[in-house]
Amino acid sequence: MNEQTGGDSPMYKILIEGGSGEIEEKKSRFIATLRPVETQEEAVAFIEEIKKKYWDARHNCSAFVLGDEAQLTRCNDDGEPSGTAGRPMLEVLLGSGVRNVAVVVTRYFGGTLLGTGGLVRAYTQAVQAGLKQCRIGIMRQGVILRIDTDYNNVGKVLYILNDRGIEQQDSAYTDKVSITVRLPIEERESLEKAITESTCGKASYESLESSFYVDKNSEILV
């Protein structure tokens, strides 16, 4: 399920920038490295890259989540007891709400066996530590909207856009004024109503595109 915010607009979290974090458990080092990925091929290539980087480690366990609704997920224990590494790592990613992300947790064995519970806890905490070092943002469902009006009313339109913090994507001044903006889809009706009232109906609207986009003001901490 997509997360919801601000009405009915779907949203999900993404990595704006990956990162890494490390924990230690009974002298074993667990290094979590996270990166944004868009395809399964990218995820697999990233995992192989980290395995080569930490070629001398005992384990390089991995997990990834693709799609705004986590349509594709994979995890791998890389030699750890079944279910003690990849699955807990995947659960952290799913629970965080971050999508299109891959993580590898590298383990340098410290000489002491941790047991099933200890391994699950260590791999879980490693991914959590890694997420804290990443920049995370929100993808919102938005609409590209073209607003047409006349020269007498363009000032009113621009005032409303500025007041609502809506940035112009493009503008054209011909026999009329056309202003293109992008905004969360749930804000469209309210914006059109405000402009129509302010211009006494001397504005028209056309939806050019609907897609997800990164909310520049959404950066959050995990």
Residue 213 has pLDDT above 80, yes or no: no
Question: What average pLDDT score do residues 55-64 get?
Answer: 97
In contact, 121 and 129? CB cutoff 8 Å: no
Q: What is the DSSP letter of 190?
A: H
In contact, 89 and 105? CB cutoff 8 Å: yes
- pLDDT per residue as tens digits for the range 121-158: 999 999 999 999 999 988 888 899 999 999 999 999 99
In the prediction, which pLDDT does 5 show?
Answer: 37
- pLDDT per residue as tens digits for the range 156-204: 999 999 999 998 999 999 999 999 999 888 899 999 999 999 999 999 9
185-205 burial code (b ≥16 CB/10 A, e <16): bbbbeebeebbeebbeeebee
From CA 25, how far away is CA 123, in angstroms rounded?
Answer: 10
Class in CATH terms, 141-215: alpha beta
Q: How many CB atoms lie within 10 A of CB 37?
A: 21
- pLDDT per residue as tens digits for the range 74-88: 999 999 999 999 999
From CA 165, how far away is CA 171, in angstroms rounded?
Answer: 16
In the prediction, which pLDDT does 139 show?
Answer: 86
Segments making up each domain of the chain, as ranges: 19-133, 141-215
In the prediction, which pLDDT does 218 show?
Answer: 57
Q: Kindly provide the residue ranges of all beta strands, DSSP E only, lying in 45-100, ordered along the sequence.
A: 59-66, 72-76
At the fourth CATH level, the homologous superfamily of domain 19-133 is Impact, N-terminal domain (3.30.230.30)
Fold identical between 19-133 and 141-215?
no
State in Å, rounded, how far the first CA of the chain is from the last one: 20
In the prediction, which pLDDT does 216 show?
Answer: 60
